[in-house]
Amino acid sequence: MIDLLPSDTKIIPGEENFTKLNLGPTHPATHGIFQNVLTMDGEKIVRAEPTIGYIHRAFEKIAEHRPYYQITPLTDRLNYCSAPINNIGYQMAVEKLIKADIPKRVQYLRVILMELARITDHLICNSVLGVDTGALTGFVYLFQHRELVYEIYEEVCGSRLTTNLGRIGGFERDFTPVAWAKLNKFLIEFPLALKEFEKLLQRNRIFIDRTVGVGAISSEDALAYSFSGPTLRAAGIDYDVRAMNPYSSYEDFDFKIPVASNGDTYDRFNIRQEEMWQSLSIIRQAIDKLPSGPFHADIPKFYLPNKEDVYENMEALIYHFKIVMGESEIPAGEVYHSVEGANGELGFYIISHGGRSPYRLHFRRPCFIFYQAYPEMIKGSTISDAILTMSSLNVIAGELDA
Partner 1 sequence: MNNTKTTDLILVPKPEGLEGEGFFATNLSKVVGLARANSIWPLPFATSCCGIEFMATMSAHYDLARFGSERLSFSPRQADLLMVMGTIAKKMGPVLRQVYEQMAEPRWVIAVGACASSGGIFDTYSVLQGIDRIIPVDVYVPGCPPRPEQIIDGILNIQRLVKSESLRRRDSEEYKAMLNKYGIE
Partner 2 sequence: MIEIGKILGFLREQFSDAILETETQYDFEVVTIQSDSIIPVIAALKNHPEFSFEYLTTLCGIHYPDKSQIAVMYQLHSLSNNIRIRLKTYLSEESPTVRSLTSVFKSANWMEREAYDFYGIHFEGHPDLRRILNVETMIAFPMRKEFPLEDQIRTDKEDKMFGR
**Binding stretches for partner 1 (CB under 8 A):** 1-2, 4, 24-28, 32-33, 53-58, 61-62, 73-74, 76-77, 80-81, 124, 139-141, 143-144, 146-147, 150, 160-162, 397-398, 401
> Which residues are registered as beta bridge partners of 361?
350
For residues 171 to 190, the per-residue mask of contacts with partner 2, x marking binding by CB under 8 A and - elsewhere, is --------------------
Q: Which is nearer to partner 2, 244 or 318 (CB)?
A: 244
Q: Which of 237, 259, 290, 310 lies at the binding interface for partner 2 (CB under 8 A)?
A: 237
What gap in Å lies between CA 264 and CA 330, rounded to an integer? Answer: 45
Q: Which is nearer to partner 2, 221 or 309 (CB)?
A: 221
How big is the site for partner 2, counted in residues (CB under 8 A)?
43
Q: 378: closest CA among 399, 393, 367?
A: 393
Q: Which is nearer to partner 2, 345 or 385 (CB)?
A: 345
For residues 252 to 291, the per-residue mask of contacts with partner 2, x marking binding by CB under 8 A and - elsewhere, is ----------------------------------------
Q: Using CB under 8 A, which residues numbered 51 to 70 contact partner 2?
A: 52-53, 56, 58, 60-62, 64-65
Instruction: Report, in Å, the least distance between residue 98 CB and partner 2.
Output: 11
List the single partner that 77 binds among partner 1, partner 2, none, CB under 5 to 8 Å by kind.
Answer: partner 1
List the single partner that 336 binds among partner 1, partner 2, none, CB under 5 to 8 Å by kind.
Answer: partner 2
What gap in Å lies between CA 272 and CA 231, rounded to an integer? Answer: 9
- Answer yes or no whether residue 5 interacts with partner 2 by CB under 8 A: no
Q: Which is nearer to partner 1, 11 or 140 (CB)?
A: 140
Type of residue at 88: I
For residues 325 to 354, the per-residue mask of contacts with partner 2, x marking binding by CB under 8 A and - elsewhere, is --------xxxx-x------x-x-x-x---
Instruction: Report, in Å, the least distance between residue 2 CB and partner 1.
Output: 5
Instruction: Report, in Å, the least distance between residue 236 CB and partner 2.
Output: 12
- Answer yes or no whether residue 4 interacts with partner 2 by CB under 8 A: no
- Answer yes or no whether residue 80 interacts with partner 2 by CB under 8 A: no
Instruction: Report, in Å, the least distance between residue 56 CB and partner 2.
Output: 4
Q: 235: closest CA among 260, 258, 255, 215?
A: 260
Residue by residue, what is the 3-state secondary structure of the chain? CCCCCCCCCCCCCCCCCCEEEEECCCCCCCCCCCEEEEEEECCEEEEEEEECCCCCCCHHHHHCCCCHHHHHHHHHCCCHHHHHHHHHHHHHHHHHHHCCCCCHHHHHHHHHHHHHHHHHHHHHHHHHHHHHHCCHHHHHHHHHHHHHHHHHHHHHHCCCCCCCCCECCECCCCCCHHHHHHHHHHHHHHHHHHHHHHHHHCCCHHHHHHHCCCCCCCHHHHHHCCCCCHHHHHCCCCCCHHHHCCCCCHHHCCCCCCCCCCCCHHHHHHHHHHHHHHHHHHHHHHHHCCCCCCCECCCCCCCCCCHHHHHHCHHHHHHHHHHHCCCCCCCCEEEEEEEECCCCEEEEEEEECCCCCCCEEEEECHHHHHHHHHHHHCCCCCHHHHHHHHHHHCCCHHHHHC
List the single partner that 351 binds among partner 1, partner 2, none, CB under 5 to 8 Å by kind.
Answer: partner 2
Q: Which is nearer to partner 2, 311 or 336 (CB)?
A: 336
Q: Name the segment binding partner 2 (CB under 8 A); options: 13-21, 170-178, 193-201, 222-230.
A: 222-230
List the single partner that 160 binds among partner 1, partner 2, none, CB under 5 to 8 Å by kind.
Answer: partner 1
- Answer yes or no whether residue 226 interacts with partner 2 by CB under 8 A: yes
Q: Which residues of 96-126 are buried (b: 16+ CB within 10 A; e: fewer)?
A: bbbebebbbbbbbbbbbbbbbbbbbbbbbbb
Binding site for partner 2 (CB under 8 A): 6-8, 52-53, 56, 58, 60-62, 64-65, 96-97, 221, 223-226, 237, 239, 244-245, 333-336, 338, 345, 347, 349, 351, 359-360, 362, 364, 368-369, 371-373, 401-402
